[in-house]
Structure 1
Amino acid sequence: MVRDLITLIRPHQWAKNLLVVPLVLIDTPRLGLGLLGRVSWAVLLFTMVSALVYVWNDVYDRHRDRAHPTKRNRPIASGRVSVPAAYAFGALIATALVAAVAFGPAFPWWPLAAYLTLNVAYSRGLKHLPLLDVLVVAGGFLLRVVQGYLAAGVAVSSWLLIAVFSLCLLLILGKRRHEMAVGGSAHRPSLAGYSVQYLDLLIVLCAAVAISGFLGHVQATIPTPYQALALVGSTPFALFAVARYLQVVVVDGDGGEPTRVLLKDRAMLVNALLWGVLIGGVLLVTQHPALLALAH
């Protein structure tokens, strides 16, 4: 039972919070223990609220999940966790979440409330409406980013929000394309409003906006005289990241688990590492010009 309850809250999906909420650390010139503590607390809060959403979704979708080839093995759909036990577990998570908000660090937590409200609406019907189904999920990631910035007390760049939103849309559309190609539209009603060709067009559109957004964020945050270096140097890394993901989705026929692709694809990881070294080096030299003088 304990193992099934843990499976119910999807620990393998928690990496989403670790990847998105702490984005604010990139834009913070000085990292103190207090700031790291507040951002870590925001990660914990979003992990708890997402766990609550997973429990709610699986209870609400248990009948439909039983007709799905893989989702029928989920704890509630398979009957290993009863509905009353799931409700009790959800109530325990909700209580812990309220306590964490009430007694944790003081910062605005409206993105948590918005995320929870949005996901209730998603489960109750928005998930069945084409386009709205993917926009709502991407909006959840946007709220994660905003929560991280609110916890740190740092203003968030509009360019970054555009980039994250469009990138998340890209990943979600890639997942929808995989579902469409593998199982058709029977198990997800919203897929009836898509076709593989239409999804391909949307993916290309979101890829272009995501690249533009990230480069715009780089240009807006990196001061001169290193702005051109960061912008031009970031361009091939951004293009490769998107091109590699499109290759995985379109050529390899994968993309059903975007988190796994991002965290386990070696080409993506090496690209991210090199890009991080470039941006990290530029930020380091920008904040500590004396380091460049020492190199000479």
Structure 2
Amino acid sequence: MTTEAVAAEGIPDKVPVEVPIEPARRGTRRLARIWADLVTLARPVQWTKNVLVIPLAAASGASWDAGALLRTGWAVIVFCLASSMVYVINDIADRDLDRAHPAKRMRPIASGRISASGARIYAGALALLLCMAAFAGPTMHLWPLAAYVALNLAYSRWLKHVPLVDICVVSAGFGLRVLQGYAATGGDFSGWFLVAVLTGCMVLIAGKRRHELTTAGTAHRPALRGYNVALLDQVLAVSAILAVLSFLLYLRHDAPIGDLHNLLPALAAPLALFGVFRYLQSVLVRRRGADPVRTLMRDRLLIADALLLGAAVLTALIVESSS
């Protein structure tokens, strides 16, 4: 049949042929998606909490020799493994509730991309790695790590459903990170510093609860039924005041800064207040705070303020240690 005849009868000159995707390529893509979901479950972005909080015990004036550095780094590693394991267990427990949340329903377990049984195997593997890292690492007290795991297992089971208790438990997790830092560095313990960390974390968590309450309702988190905006605003205000006051009291009484114990609090006060006010502005005015870590890390003014505050404290520590 000629080309003219083909065209006359309406038969296309070239028939497109659908080329099937190779099974190997499909398998590679599926494996890549599974790995991506497993990484998402581990929440590596949240490891920032461990990297930033555990070394804070260095502010106690601990001696930073090679052993202290090794123990601190190892403490960060085991806490990253522990927190990832806790996130996976919590996502397993919350998979039905997460499906009622506009964003959390896309999480790997809630969306069904990772089955609950597969996630349990993953959590077991992380637990095994955690135990191996804890026993293979340098000698130091690990009771804060053990307390963190036990507390968060209780949180995943039922404490997260108790209003106010849920905020306190999450804050306690940060306090245990600081205590693990003290255990790693051997620095002098400061009660005022621990209070500053606990109450500062309460500001972040209360801001997150407020954002959840005002944007997604209470269906995905039963504990939110015990809150309202007015209560969370009070929690934010009280926690913010205590965080700034306890931090300044730490600088005045416990920080190893010698003769600078009068000058440094005066310099740090406006920076600490600005940081708290800026975060409150993000939560109350800009309606952010769903993820405190991302809120903090994406705000250039907050980062600059934290760097200035950290530089002031670090300079005072260096001046005192060299005098």
Cα 1:111–1:30 change in 2 (3 A) is closer
The match for 1:207 is 240
Q: How many angstroms apart in 1 are the aligned matches of 2:117 and 2:227?
A: 36
**Whole-angstrom CA distance in 2 between matches of 1:99 and 1:224:** 42
TM-score (structure 2 length as normaliser): 0.87
**Is 1:16 paired with 2:49?**
yes
Give yes or no for the alignment of 1:225 onto 2:244: no
Whether 1:165 and 2:169 are equivalent positions in the alignment is no
Structure showing greater Rg: 2
Q: Give the aligned CA root-mean-square deviation in angstroms.
A: 1.2
The answer to whether the 8 Å contact 2:100/2:219 transfers is: no
Asked if 1:81 is matched to 2:114, the reply is: yes
For 2:141 and 2:321, locate their aligned partners in 1 and report how far apart those are by CA, in whole Å. Answer: 29
- Which residues of 2 match residues 61-80 of structure 1 at below 5 A? 61-80=94-113
> Which of 275, 282, 287 is the equivalent residue of 2:309?
275
Report the alpha carbon displacement of residue 79 of structure 1 after superposing the two structures with TM: 1.2
Q: Tell me the amino acid that sits aligned with residue 318 of structure 2.
A: L
Q: CA deviation at 1:29?
A: 4.8
Task: Say whether the 8 Å CA contact 2:54–2:181 is kept in structure 1.
Answer: yes
Shift of 1:243: 0.8
- Kindly state the Cα deviation for residue 166 of structure 1 after the two structures are TM-superposed: 0.4
Conserved? CA contact 2:92–2:109, under 8 Å: yes
The corresponding residue for 2:295 is 261
Q: Is the 8 A contact 2:82 2:130 kept in 1?
A: yes
Aligned-residue sequence identity (percent) comes to 46
Paired letter, 1:288: S
2: CA distance between counterparts of 1:164 and 1:29? Answer: 18
Aligned equivalent of 2:189, options 139, 153, 156: 156
| 1:96 paired residue number | 129
In the alignment, the residues of structure 1 paired with residue 76 and residue 37 of structure 2 have an alpha-carbon distance, to the nearest angstrom, of 23
Give the aligned residue type for 2:255.
T
What is the aligned partner in structure 2 of residue 126 from structure 1?
159
State the shift of 1:27 in Å: 2.3
Task: Number of aligned residue pairs: give it.
Answer: 289
- 83, 90, 93: which is aligned to 1:60? 93
Q: What residue number does 2:282 align with?
A: 248
Question: 1:271, 1:35 → 2: CA distance?
Answer: 28
Instruction: Return 268-277 or 199-208, whichever deviates more.
Output: 268-277
Contact 1:222–1:230 (8 Å) recurs in 2: no
Q: Show structure 1 runs of 5+ residues with no match.
A: 290-296
- Rounded to whole Å, the distance in 2 between the matches of 1:125 and 1:64 is 14
Question: Is this contact kept in 2: 1:167–1:210, CA < 8 A?
Answer: yes
Choose 276-285 or 39-48, whichever is displaced more.
Answer: 276-285
1:209-242 CA-partner distances (Å, limit 9, x unpaired) = 0001110111121444211111111111111111
1:159-218 Cα offsets, whole Å, 9 max, x none, are 011000000011000001111111222221111111111111111000010001110111
Gaps of 5+ in 2: 1-33
